[in-house]
């Protein structure tokens, strides 16, 4: 089959322009068709209302006494809430960064920062430490008020965390993560 070419007088051929247009138009219609078919499948992967309801957890911390801890569930993970004693806060503040294995605070409430005790808590509420209670080595659940630094200890593989949840000894590569949280009032903590 022969291709017909026309010349516009300047030496440029325009024989393929109609075919090019048909290819592009066909491709565009096919892309829209595939997108309209694929969208319901993609949309069904969004979390349902029950999952979205777990996006935040409200906790009454009014009964939490000094030196006491509690554990709540948030997004299927345990969250440790500890009201530290003034001694525990001071011990955590005195630890030089050079002694820490992980110097990242891992606190989304402050952005990026060094793993000082002040960066692991919220300003004005330094006594209250809130952390995701999952060991950063293999996902075990550490025991509270245990280990060489009187913080948390993971007996599965021997990771020791201090009173600010920072890894100090053992195979865990990172500090315990801190979830986003806020205090709407003095007796309520909202995680998430």
Enter the tokens of residue 27: 């491709």
User: How far is 179 from 74, CA to CA, in rounded Å?
Assistant: 9
Catalytic one of 10, 14, 137, 157: 157
Which spans in 44-163 are helix H?
Answer: 49-53, 86-93, 117-120
Beta strand 69-74 with 57-60: parallel, antiparallel or unpaired? unpaired
| Phi, psi of 86, rounded to the nearest 5 degrees | -55, -35
CB 160 within 8 A of CB 149: yes
Closest CA to 176 of 134, 141, 143, 140: 134
Is 160 designated active site?
no
Positions annotated as catalytic residues are 157
């Amino acid at each position: 089959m022969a291709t017909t070419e026309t010349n516009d007088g300047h030496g440029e051929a325009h024989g393929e322009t109609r075919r090019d247009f048909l290819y592009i138009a066909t491709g565009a219609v096919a892309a829209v068709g595939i997108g309209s078919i694929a969208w319901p499948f993609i949309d069904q992967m969004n979390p349902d209302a029950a999952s979205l309801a777990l996006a935040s957890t409200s906790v009454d911390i009014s009964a939490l006494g000094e030196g006491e801890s509690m554990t709540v569930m948030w997004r299927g993970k345990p969250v440790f809430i500890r009201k530290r004693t003034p001694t525990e806060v001071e011990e955590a503040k005195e630890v030089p960064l050079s002694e820490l294995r992980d110097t990242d605070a891992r606190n989304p409430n402050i952005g990026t920062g060094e793993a000082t005790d002040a960066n692991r808590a919220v300003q004005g509420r330094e006594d209250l430490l809130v952390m995701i209670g999952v060991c950063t080595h293999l996902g075990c659940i550490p025991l509270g008020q245990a280990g060489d630094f009187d913080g948390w200890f993971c007996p599965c593989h021997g990771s020791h965390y201090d009173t600010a949840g920072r890894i100090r000894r053992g195979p865990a590569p990172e500090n315990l993560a801190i979830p986003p949280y806020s205090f709407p009032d003095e007796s309520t903590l909202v995680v998430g």
